[in-house]
Amino acid sequence: MLEHAKGNPNYVLMVEGLTVSFDGFKAVNDLSFYVEPNECRVIIGPNGAGKTTVLDLICGRTRATEGSVQFKGQELLRMREDQIVHAGVGRKFQTPSVYEDLSVYENLELSFPKGHGVFGALFFARDEEVNARILEIAELIFLDEQLDEKAAYLSHGQKQWLEIGMLLIQDPQLLMLDEPVAGMSVAERKKTAELLNRIIQDRSVIVIEHDMGFVEDIATRVTVLHQGKVLSEGSMERVQNDPKVIEVYLGH
């Protein structure tokens, strides 16, 4: 992998030698992986493996100690969080983060990629373009009936969808989802898998997930993380049969 990856312009995201140390504890340790266009990469691994931390490093929430994260040729590690977003990276948090006091419509509106400066926001107009896009996304995330509802009143699963919708409305090239089906019913999981498969057609997605059935439904390739390092990588089938993986993760 590593050898032919160097300088390959076909990768959307190139993570190389990524390391972060919290007071000497290396939560992510010399990690490298590459994501192709239209790929759905699933990262799995036991609790505390460093999965969330990897996303934190890519989106600028945590500063890396070493390494490089190249997104379409730009070095993300030197950019501010909002600049990374504008470059085309969207990220969903592990616990659903929506604006509970605002309606579903307003949640989506605030994520619309326009009027992001102080005065842009002050004079932002809710025009037809914005409205049409919000309705379009709401339908995609199964919330077109709930547009005027306060986000606080949504079910846990619906909040997850709403947050995904808030990212989709920005049309990011790279979408990172931290446990998108956690707390969802079986029916909701199926709908989410459907949604993700539709989303992937226009972009690359990194998903962190524990639910193996769900992973099988969506993954193009799987990366297994263990103690901040890649333990195994490849198709779901290959990873599942990797003895190292069985030992630390799938075995118990």
Partner 1 sequence: MQVTRKNSLFTRYELIGFAILAAIIFIVFPMIMDTFRLNLFGKYLTYAFVAVGLVLCWGAGGILSLGQGVFFGLGGYCMAMFLKLEASTPENTSIQSTPGIPDFMDWNQLTALPWWWEPFHSLTLSLIAVIVVPVAFAFIIGVAMFRRRVGGVYFAIITQAIAAVMTILIIGQQGYTGGVNGITDLRTLLGWDIRTDEAKEILYFVNGALLFVCLGIAQYVRKSKLGRLLIAMRDQEDRVRFSGYDVANFKIFIFCLGAAFAAVGGAMFTLQVGFMSPSFVGIVPSIEMVIFAAVGGRLSILGAVYGTLLVNWAKTTFSESFPELWLLGLGALFIAVVMAFPNGLAGVWSEHVMPRLRKLGSRGDSGTPDAAPSTPAAE
Ligand X SMILES: Nc1ncnc2c1ncn2[C@@H]1O[C@H](COP(=O)(O)OP(=O)(O)OP(=O)(O)O)[C@@H](O)[C@H]1O
- Chosen residue from 33, 44, 50, 143 binding ligand X by CB under 6 A: 50
- Chosen residue from 49, 167, 175, 231 binding ligand X by CB under 6 A: 49
- Chosen residue from 45, 60, 157, 165 binding ligand X by CB under 6 A: 45
Q: Considering the complex, what minimum distance in angstroms separates the CB of residue 132 from partner 1?
A: 9
- Chosen residue from 9, 63, 148, 186 binding partner 1 by CB under 8 A: 148
Query: Which residues ranging from 101 to 120 are in contact with partner 1 (CB under 8 A)?
Result: 101-103, 105-106, 109-111, 113, 115-118
Query: Which residues ranging from 94 to 113 are in contact with Mg ion (CB under 5 A)?
Result: 94
Scanning 6-14, 42-50, 163-171, 185-193 for contacts with ligand X by CB under 6 A, the matching segment is 42-50
Scanning 15-23, 51-59, 76-84, 238-246 for contacts with Mg ion by CB under 5 A, the matching segment is 51-59
> Among 158, 166, 151, 175, which residue's Cα sits nearest to residue 112?
166
- DSSP for 116-185? -SHHHHHT----HHHHHHHHHHHHHTT-TT-TTSBGGGS-HHHHHHHHHHHHHTT--SEEEEESTTTT--
Q: What is the dihedral of CA 37, 132, 197, 35, to 10 degrees?
A: 20
Query: Which residues ranging from 156 to 195 are in contact with partner 1 (CB under 8 A)?
Result: 163, 166, 170
Q: Rounded to an integer, what distance in angstroms lies between the CA atom of residue 248 and that of residue 252?
A: 8
CB nearer to partner 1: pick between 48 and 113? 113
CB nearer to partner 1: pick between 59 and 222? 59
b/e 200-221 (16+ beta carbons within 10 angstroms → b): beebbbbbbbebeebbebbbbb
Q: Give the bridge partners for 43, in sequence order.
A: 208, 223
Say whether residue 63 binds partner 1 (CB under 8 A). no
Q: Rounded to an integer, what distance in angstroms lies between the CA atom of residue 216 and that of residue 45?
A: 15
- Chosen residue from 17, 48, 120, 183 binding ligand X by CB under 6 A: 48
Burial of 227 (0-12, 13-18, 19+ CB in 10 A): middle
- Chosen residue from 86, 191, 210, 229 binding partner 1 by CB under 8 A: 86
Q: Which residues bind ligand X (CB under 6 A)?
A: 22, 27, 45, 47-53, 94
